[in-house]
């Protein structure tokens, strides 16, 4: 080993030795930094966050006219989010009619599987307020109640909740958006989704309308929404507190529209007609008479 005193003397008289010593010192520092990085987990950023996702999907009887599209749409959303599952984010899927079912319960996005058709069986009425309020309450009571994306999908108005009112739903959505940094998206059909969503305190920029009678309308919208959600999650994970989440509006050219078609039988004639809750009393009477009811 070289004596330090002799090295010091050489520094004063030999520039080459001085440069070599500085180079060795730099190498030691670099190796120490590398070792520290391997031993410690380096965070993405001081403000990095994990964004959980909750999807509340209508399973009332009127959704049966859409066939397997609701399941395809949910899977398209899940598949897109799974591509970006590089954190501990979770997803919850709640289906609802008169009652609610937690089909996916706070499962890691990286581990969640696609839904099978047998997990979705439309029937019953639309207890939207009960589903939304119960789901929010359950999440707020969990260990992680902040920074959640809540996606609500329905094909009609609330008509059968027994526990919670529209005022209850509005109050809860206002609270989680203000106090817990939630982003709420409202997607609806057979209603004015922008007015209905806004009535629940959902920003109009996060409301979207789909046409239940046009094949692929919901699927297209869910894919587009999922991409927006992915962009938002990545931005927040990188520490961008100014990132915002918007929902794309449907804009399908009329020539691209393909309306659903069903066999003309007495049992399904009502399915082909407009939803009953959207009909005036005279039109409702005519619809029921044509169906033989």
CATH number for the domain harbouring residue 109: 3.40.50.410
Q: Are residues 192 and 268 in the same domain?
A: no
In a domain? residue 13: no
Q: Are residues 115 and 170 in the same domain?
A: yes
In order of 74, 81, 188, the CA distances from 54 in angstroms are 11, 12, 16
Q: Are residues 169 and 266 in the same domain?
A: no
Question: What integer is the mean pLDDT of 116-120?
Answer: 92
Under 8 Å between Cβ of 231 and 248: no
Arithmetic mean of pLDDT over the chain: 79
Q: Are residues 220 and 151 in the same domain?
A: yes
User: Among positive and negative, which fits the CA dihedral 86, 205, 197, 59?
Assistant: negative
Q: Are residues 224 and 124 in the same domain?
A: yes
pLDDT digits (tens, 9 = 90+) for 188-238: 999 999 999 999 999 999 999 999 999 899 999 999 999 999 999 988 888
Question: What integer is the mean pLDDT of 34-46?
Answer: 45
In a domain? residue 250: no
In a domain? residue 23: no
Per-residue pLDDT at 34 exceeds 90: no
Question: What integer is the mean pLDDT of 104-111?
Answer: 93
pLDDT digits (tens, 9 = 90+) for 120-176: 999 999 999 999 999 999 999 998 999 999 999 999 999 999 999 999 999 999 999
Query: In this predicted model, which residue has the larger pLDDT, 273 or 12?
Result: 12
Per-residue pLDDT at 264 exceeds 50: no
Determine the pLDDT at residue 278: 40
Determine the pLDDT at residue 274: 40
Q: Are residues 135 and 271 in the same domain?
A: no
Q: Which residue range(s) make up the domain with 127? A: 52-237
pLDDT confidence band for 241 (50 / 70 / 90): confident
Q: Are residues 229 and 286 in the same domain?
A: no
Under 8 Å between Cβ of 53 and 84: no
Per-residue pLDDT at 23 exceeds 70: no
Q: How many domains does one find in the chain? A: 2
Q: Are residues 85 and 192 in the same domain?
A: yes
In a domain? residue 37: no
Query: In this predicted model, which residue has the larger pLDDT, 50 or 42?
Result: 50
In a domain? residue 9: no
Q: Are residues 152 and 282 in the same domain?
A: no
Q: Are residues 89 and 129 in the same domain?
A: yes
């Amino acid at each position: 080993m070289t004596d330090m005193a002799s090295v010091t003397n050489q520094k004063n008289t030999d520039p080459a030795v001085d440069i070599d010593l500085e180079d060795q010192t730099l190498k030691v520092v670099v190796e120490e930094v590398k070792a520290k990085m391997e031993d410690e987990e380096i965070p993405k950023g001081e403000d990095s966050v994990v964004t959980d996702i909750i999807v509340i999907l209508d399973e009332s009887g009127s959704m049966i006219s859409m066939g397997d599209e609701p399941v395809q749409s949910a899977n398209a959303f899940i598949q897109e989010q799974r591509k970006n599952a590089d954190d501990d984010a979770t997803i919850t899927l709640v289906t609802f009619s008169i009652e609610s079912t937690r089909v996916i319960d706070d499962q890691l996005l990286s581990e969640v599987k696609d839904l099978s058709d047998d997990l979705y069986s439309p029937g019953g009425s639309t207890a939207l307020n009960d589903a939304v309020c119960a789901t929010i309450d359950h999440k707020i009571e969990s260990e992680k109640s902040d920074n959640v994306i809540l996606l609500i999908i329905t094909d009609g108005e609330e008509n059968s909740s027994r526990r919670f009112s529209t005022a209850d739903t509005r109050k809860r959505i206002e609270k989680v958006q203000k106090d817990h940094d939630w982003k709420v998206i409202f997607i609806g059909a057979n209603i004015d989704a922008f007015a209905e969503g806004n009535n629940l305190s959902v920003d109009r920029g996060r409301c979207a309308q789909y046409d239940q009678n046009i094949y692929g309308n919901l699927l297209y919208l869910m894919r587009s929404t999922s991409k927006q959600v992915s962009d938002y999650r990545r931005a927040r994970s990188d520490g961008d507190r100014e990132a915002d989440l918007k929902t794309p509006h449907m804009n399908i050219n009329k020539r691209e529209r393909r309306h659903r078609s069903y066999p003309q039988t007495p049992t399904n004639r009502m399915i082909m007609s407009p939803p009953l809750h959207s009909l005036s009393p005279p039109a409702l009477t005519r619809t029921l008479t044509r169906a033989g009811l």
